[in-house]
Structure 1
């Protein structure tokens, strides 16, 4: 028989991301962030390729990112409301961790599987932050796909942003949202 961990299961069954607008200071310092990154790095990684990496954006970097988003949005014609929202995500964020999908050459492990691992890192980091008592949210949006922004962040041409995890202190607990109907999503296959 398996040994259950009811507290961990209850956390997973009730976890809830915190909207970025509700995150404020304080944010985890480097010592507090280290175990969260460690937990995220324990993600399934077929082939032990570590096809991901982290870029931590603290206040000065977030201010620069907000300006970069404003500049790029203006140049690329992002609609004003969308641009304002995207800029505010960085201008008000207490801390953000960019999870970079960094696939490695491999004859055995397909690139798609390596990207899945990077996505799993995002969820693991989000859950680690929430489990540690922080508020956190996983975002992406057009700035994460803009080639000038990704180059500015130091990504190579073979890398992409899997997600941006914003972490801080929650200022409000959001109401729960409707959850998926498992009956509509689950098939019990019988050949």
Structure 2
């Protein structure tokens, strides 16, 4: 049996998402970001496919992407009101760093695409944990831009890639309140053969 580590459970139990609008500078420096990513890649990865990569969005690039997304949103949703357009424009302007976790999929004779997608999702979650462990706030977001072919093209995704999540990381402006969590006992059943 491995040595128990209650600190790990405490870290898992204290995880909170901080709304992107409540994240501000400073964000992690390059060394701190690399430390976060070192933890984030320690995920279950059937077949060692490393079916993910990272794309950082920071500085003025956040605002340029926001302008493009606002324009794209007007094309896709011509009935969208000014508030929706402004929401799109500001989508990436709050947190000083956004890490896009890109799932690399495509044909694989041994490892199903779904399993590789789950690995990329685990990377997103591990990155949230790593950010919080180093004193930052973070949130995992997608929204329509994560599924839009034009946005994927702007971000340089290949045909067999998709966005698993945009992880917004920064200094929290507030302490996120606890929210109600599901009761694991109510979600658990023992299987028995008929």
Distance 2:181 2:7 in 1: 20
Deviations 1:94-136 (A, max 9, x none): 1100000102532110111100100000001111101111010
Alignment of 1:1-191 (within 5 A): 1-77=1-77, 79-80=80-81, 81-191=83-193
Moved more, 65-74 or 76-85: 76-85
Secondary structure at 2:185's aligned position in 1?
helix
Which runs of 5 or more structure 1 residues have no equivalent in the other structure?
A: none
TM-score normalised over the length of structure 2: 0.93
**Which runs of at least 4 in structure 1 moved beyond 6 Å after TM superposition?**
none
**Contact 2:20/2:139 (<8 A) preserved:** yes
Secondary structure at 2:182's aligned position in 1?
coil
CA offset at residue 190 of structure 1? 2.0
CA offset at residue 93 of structure 1? 2.3
Distance 1:69 1:106 in 2: 32
**Contact 1:100/1:161 (<8 A) preserved:** yes
Number of aligned residues: 191
TM-score normalised over the length of structure 1: 0.95
Root mean square deviation, CA, Å: 1.3
Deviations 1:15-51 (A, max 9, x none): 1111111100001111110011111111111111110
**Contact 1:23/1:135 (<8 A) preserved:** yes
Distance 1:93 1:16 in 2: 16
**Contact 2:70/2:85 (<8 A) preserved:** yes
Secondary structure at 1:91's aligned position in 2?
coil
Deviations 1:163-186 (A, max 9, x none): 000000011002111101223311
Distance 2:178 2:31 in 1: 31
Which runs of 5 or more structure 2 residues have no equivalent in the other structure?
A: none
